Structure 1
C-alpha cells in the first residue's frame, strides 16, 4: 500500500483488498441473518415455547465463551485469511446440515441446536480474526473510515438478510438454509482472493498467559473496559431479537414477511447512521457520545415493549438500531486505534466473548424470562435495566466519560511515570 494516503470517506473503497473483505463480510452477514430468521421461526413453530427460543441463544453462547479467547490467540498467530477461510468452510457445512434437517421435517429441536453449536464454533474464531484483519488491509489513517464502512455494510446486510429470509421463508425453511449456503460459498470465493503481508514474528505457543493477554490488556485500559462492559449489559438486558417471532405472531399479528421486516428494522436505522459515520466519523467526545447512545437504545426498547402498533414498533426498532450503531462504531474504533497490532486479535476476542456472546446469552435470558413473566414485561424489565446501567456507567467509568478521542484510550493503558 502506498504511503500517500488519500483522505476521505470513499478513498478506502479504492483498495481492492478492502473491497473483497467487505463484500465477503456482506454476503456472510446476509447468510447469518437469513439463518437467524429461519431458525427462530422453525423452532417456535415446532414447540410454541419461548424457552426453546432461549435455548437457541444459549447453545450458541457456550462455544463463544469457551473458545473465544483461543480464537483471539489464533488470529494473532496464524495467517488471518487462512483462519477466516476455514471458518467460512465450517459455516457452509452447517448451512447444508440445517437444510437437510428442514427437508426431513424434523420434529425435534435438539438436532437444530447441535448444528447451531457447530456454527457458533466457527463464529468464535471468525469474529476476532475478521475484526483484526482491518489493520492488515488499510492504513492507520484510513481505519476510522474503514470501520465506518465495515459496520455500515454489516448493517446493510442485516437489513437485506432478514427481509430476504422472511420472503424465502414463505417457500420453507429448507430454501432459506440453501440460500444461506450459496451466499457462504460466494463469501469464500472472495476471501481466498485476498493476500496480506504480515510482519514476521515469533509464534506464541498456546498457554494460559497467551490466552488471557487480551483480558489483561482490557482490564488495564479502563476506557476499553468501560466501552465493552456498557455494550455487554445493554445487549444482555435490552436485546429483543429472540422474542420477535412472538411479537410478530401473538402481539402485532403479522406473518413471515412482517416478521422479516421486524428483524430488519434495527439495521435500517443503523444503516442510515452508518452511512453518515462513514463520511463523518465521530472524532471528539466519543465517550459521552457512546453513553448517550446506549441511553437512547434503552428508551427505544422500552417504547417497543409497550407498543401494539406495527408501524410504531418498526420505528422504535429502527431508533434502537441507530443508537446501537453509534455505540458499535465507538467501540470498534477504540479497539482498532488503541490496541497494538500484535494484540488486536486477542482484544477483539475479548470483545467478541463479551458482546457477540452476550447477544446469544441475552436471547436465552429473554426466552427464559418471557416464559416466566410474559413477553411484554420481559422487554420492559430489560429496557429499564439498560437505562439504570447506563446511568451507573457515568459514575463507574469516568475514564470512558472523559475520553475525547480514540487515541486517549491508548494513553490510558500506558503506565504512569
Structure 2
C-alpha cells in the first residue's frame, strides 16, 4: 500500500511507461497539426470572403458529422482494437491535410471560382469532423490501457498538458509561418506533424478488447453510454457545464476579426491571440501535476468556469492588444483547472468496456460545443457585431455557472478518489 501511495504521489509516475510516452507525442502532434490547420483555414476563408458568418460555417462543417456520428463511433471503438483505430484516424487526417494543402496552393487553384474553392474547403473540414468522431473515443480508450488505474489522474494531467502544448504551438506557429512562408507552405508543416503521430502509434503494441457481448440490441448498445452518463449525475453536470460555457463563451471564432479589424495586429498577433489561452492552460496543468486538486473539486470547477466567463467579457470589450492577450491568458488558466477535473471524473467513473461510448457522449457535450460555439459566435457577430456577441457569450457563461451551483448539489459536494 505504501508503494502504491508513493507511485500516486510521484508527478512523473505515468511518464515512466514507455508506450504512454509515445501516446503523449501523438496527443501533442495531432492537436498541434489540427490547431495549426484550423488557424490556417480560418485565415484563408476570411481572406476569401471577409464575412464572419463564413468563419462560423467552418465550425458547423466539423460539428455536424462529429456529433451526428458520435454514438455510432463510440460503439465501434468499444468493439475494436484501440491502437488500430487511432492509426486509421491518423491516416484520415493525412488525407484531409493533403487536400487542404492542395486547395491553398494559389497557382494550382488559379482559374477555379472562389466559391468552388470555399466549398471544397468546407467538404474537407466535414471529412475531418467524421474522423474526429472516432478519434476522441479512441484516444480516451487507449490511454486507459497504457497505465494502471491508480495513475489515471496523473496520466490525465500529462495527457492534457501534451494536448495544451500542441494547442499553444499550433496556432502560434500557424500565424508565424503564414507570415514567413505563406498559407500554402504552412500546410506542409501540418502534414509533417501528422506523419510524426503516425510513426509514434506504430511504436505502441495492439491492446486487448474489453467489450462484452451480452445480447443487447443495436439501439441498446448505441444508447448505453447516454444512459450511463444520465445515471451518473456528476458526469452529466460536469459535461453540461462545460458544453454551455464553451457554447456561449467561446471567442476563438472571432479572433480573426479582432486581429484584423479591431486590434489591427495581423497574422502574427492572431497567432499570439490563439496561443494565449493555451499558454495559461498549460502552466496551470503543469502546476497541477505537482499539486493535484484534492479538496472541493466541484466548487473549484464552478469557480474556474465563472472566471473563464469573466475573462471572455474583458476580451470582448478590450481595444488594447496587451489587455486582450492577458484576458485570453487567464481564460486559459481557468480552463486548465476545469479540463483536469472533468477529464479525471471521466477516467475514474467510466468502466473499461464502455470507454468509447462514454467518451463519445462527452464529445457531444464538450468537444462539439467548440464547433457549435464557433457557429453561434459567427451568427451572433453577423446579427449583433463581434464585440456584443463575445460579451453576450461571456455573460451567458456566468449565468450557466450560477444555475449549475443552485440546481446541482452533487457538483458542490464532488470528491475525486482513484
Q: Do both share a fold (TM > 0.5)? A: yes
Residue 395 of structure 1 deviates from its aligned partner by 1.3
Question: C-alpha distance in 2, partners of 1:132/1:282?
Answer: 23
Gaps (5+ residues) in structure 2? none
Q: Secondary structure of 2:144's partner?
A: helix
Which of 27, 30, 33 does residue 32 from structure 2 map onto?
30
Deviation at 1:404, TM superposition (A): 2.2
Q: Classify 1:193/1:203 alpha carbon distance in 2 versus 1 (closer, same or farther; 3 Å).
A: farther
Q: What does residue 192 of structure 1 align with?
A: 202
Distance 2:28 2:309 in 1: 27
1:297 to 303, 308, 324: 308
Q: In the alignment, what sits opposite 1:58?
A: 60
Instruction: Give the SS at the match of 2:254.
Output: helix
Partner of 2:175: 166
Partners in 2 of 1:300 and 1:406 — Cα distance? 31
Q: Distance in 2 between matches of 1:36 and 1:213?
A: 33
Q: Partner residue of 1:413?
A: none
Tell me the TM-score normalised to structure 2 length: 0.94
For 2:210 and 2:354, how far apart are their aligned partners in 1?
15
Matched, 1:112 2:121: yes
- Structure 1 pair 304/201, CA: closer, same or farther in 2 (3 Å)? closer
Equivalent residue runs for 1:132-143 within 5 Å: 132-143=141-152
Contact 2:211 2:353 in 1 (8 A): no
Runs of 4+ in 1 over 6 A off after TM superposition: none
- CA-atom RMSD, angstroms? 1.5
- The answer to whether the 8 Å contact 1:235/1:359 transfers is yes
**CA deviation after TM superposition for structure 1 residue 405, in Å:** 2.2
C-alpha displacement at 1:6, in angstroms? 3.1
How many Å apart are 1:145 and its aligned residue?
0.7
1:68-83 matched pairs, under 5 angstroms: 68-83=70-85
Supply the distance in 2 between the matched residues of 1:201 and 1:339 (Cα, whole angstroms): 13
TM-score, length-normalised on structure 1? 0.94
Stretches of structure 1 lacking an aligned partner (at least 5 in a row) = 408-417
Deviation of the 1:135 alpha carbon: 1.1
Once the 2 structures are TM-superposed, how far is the Cα of residue 201 of structure 1 from its aligned partner? 4.7
CA contact (8 A) 2:80 2:209 kept: no
Could you tell me how far apart the structure 1 residues matched to 2:283 and 2:175 are? 22
Deviation at 1:284, TM superposition (A): 2.2
Within 5 Å, which residues of 2 pair with 1:343-354? 343-354=354-365
Q: Distance in 2 between matches of 1:203 and 1:34?
A: 41
1:286 CA displacement: 1.0
User: What is the CA-CA distance between 1:192 and the residue it aligns to?
Assistant: 1.6
Q: Given the alignment of the two structures, is residue 378 of structure 1 paired with residue 412 of structure 2, yes or no?
A: no
Take 2:54 and 2:403, find their aligned partners in 1: how far apart are those partners?
Answer: 33
Equivalence map 1:191-340=2 (5 Å): 191-198=201-208, 201-202=211-212, 207-340=218-351
Partner of 2:155: 146
Q: 1:342-392: CA deviations, max 9, x gaps?
A: 112111110111111110000000001101110000001000000011100
CA displacement, residues 75-127 of structure 1 (integer Å, 9 cap, x when unaligned): 21110011100010000000000010111346221110000000111111001
Give, in whole Å, the separation in 2 of the partners of 1:344 and 1:42. 37
What's 2:190 paired with? 180
**Are 1:146 and 1:278, in contact at CA under 8 Å, matched by a contact in 2?**
no
Alignment of 1:336-415 (within 5 A): 336-406=347-417
- Which residue matches 1:414? none
2:94 pairs, out of 77, 92, 95, with: 92
